[in-house]
Amino acid sequence: MEHKEVLFPIGIVFILALIGVLGNLFVAMAAWSLRTTSTCNYLIFAGTVMNVVHQSIHFVTTFVAFTGISTIPLDVCFIMQVLPFSCIIGTSVITLFIGIDRVIGFYFPFVYHKFSIPMYVAVVYVLTGGYALTFIILFFSTIEDMSKPVLCAPGSIITIDYAFYYLFTTAALYIVTTVLYMSIWFISYKHRKELPGYTKILKPITIIVALSLSGWLLNFLFSIIATSIDLNPEVAPLWGGITVNLAVASEFFVFYAHSTEYRKFFVKQMLKCVKKSSNSKTGITLY
């Protein structure tokens, strides 16, 4: 693999990762501050924190590529990728649970409001973590050569033994999530007069799910097309990853555009930052 051919896609992903980390930190803070208004905000908080951790691995990839190191041993890469890639795996699960949360809240509101929030959130977090950890263990147990040099991009630790299982289960989770959201939108549209405001809450989450699903689908399709035209199998995922990271980077803007509560929080925090910056510049220090 020519070193230069990886720099451009890695550079694009790095820029998206910077936007994604900053944006998702804002969304996470907003979700946490609004957690008492809906248990769904606990799940949004978890999802955005996972996005931040996921995108942190791109900084490692960028460092390895742009400093000329080119590769590092797989065992070192595995240690650095355990947490970020666990978050990548778990994202599809937390996205499904956000959909399930909306379905229960929509179809069974009386049951939904009787849930023990700590227990409910703990179960979701444990199941998400358990699913991710299962694949991490499977990948680890089937790596044949830990000293193999790798670029250490997201997915470098995936093994061929379980790659298809991972792809198929991820696809299945997104399909189920899509069906759940379609059913809610269909019913809510029919009863929109009796349910004023419900679609406003649902809209930003649905857009984010659609963007995430599109990103992953385009990534998979790109990988399939790349193999059919003999594109370097190590370079193809780097280009395909642009669509996934574009979806992650867009979450802040989706919440800002389509959620009044989140937008108010964002504006409030931005004004605080501007005020602090202004005060620091105008301050006078006497010696």
Give how far Cα 46 sits from Cα of 27, 41, 50, Å: 10, 9, 6
Could you tell me if residue 243 is inside a domain?
yes
Give CA–CA dist 194/248, Å, rounded: 33
Q: Where are the beta strands (DSSP E) in 78-209?
A: 149-150
Q: Comparing C-alpha atoms, which of 205, 203, 209, 253 is closest to residue 26?
A: 253
**Is the per-residue pLDDT at 284 higher than 50?**
no
Could you tell me if residue 269 is inside a domain?
no
What does the pLDDT read at residue 197? 55
Could you tell me if residue 285 is inside a domain?
no
Could you tell me if residue 14 is inside a domain?
yes
Of 22-26, 106-110, 120-124, 131-135, the poorest mean pLDDT is in 106-110
**What mean pLDDT is predicted for residues 130-152?**
93
Q: pLDDT tens digits for 213-247?
A: 887 777 777 766 766 666 666 677 788 788 889 98
Q: How confident is the model at residue 110 (pLDDT cuts 50, 70, 90)?
A: confident
Could you tell me if residue 281 is inside a domain?
no
Stated as kind and residue range, the H or E segment containing 192 is none
Angle between helices 117-141 and 40-66 (to 10 degrees): 30
Q: Which residue has the higher pLDDT, 285 or 146?
A: 146
Rg (CA), the chain: 21
**What mean pLDDT is predicted for residues 45-56?**
94
Please state, for a pLDDT cut of 70, what percent of the chain lies above it: 86
Q: Which two tokens stand for residue 153?
A: 């991009």
Could you tell me if residue 266 is inside a domain?
no
Q: Which residues contact 236 (CB under 8 A, 6 or more apart)?
A: 222, 223, 226, 227
**Is the per-residue pLDDT at 28 higher than 80?**
yes
Give CA–CA dist 106/104, Å, rounded: 5
**What mean pLDDT is predicted for residues 3-16?**
86
Q: Which residue has the higher pLDDT, 196 or 86?
A: 86
Q: What's 142's domain CATH number?
A: 1.20.1070.10
Stated as kind and residue range, the H or E segment containing 73 is strand 72-73
Q: Comparing C-alpha atoms, which of 21, 6, 10, 4 is closest to residue 241?
A: 10
Could you tell me if residue 203 is inside a domain?
yes
* Residue 234: DSSP 8-state: T
Q: Which residue has the higher pLDDT, 141 or 205?
A: 141
Average pLDDT taken over every residue of the chain: 84
Domain count for the chain, please give it.
Answer: 1
What does the pLDDT read at residue 282? 54
Q: Which domain holds residue 86?
A: 4-260
Of 10-19, 84-93, 100-109, 253-262, the poorest mean pLDDT is in 100-109
Q: Which two tokens stand for residue 160?
A: 């061929």
Could you tell me if residue 48 is inside a domain?
yes
Q: How confident is the model at residue 123 (pLDDT cuts 50, 70, 90)?
A: very high
Stated as kind and residue range, the H or E segment containing 72 is strand 72-73
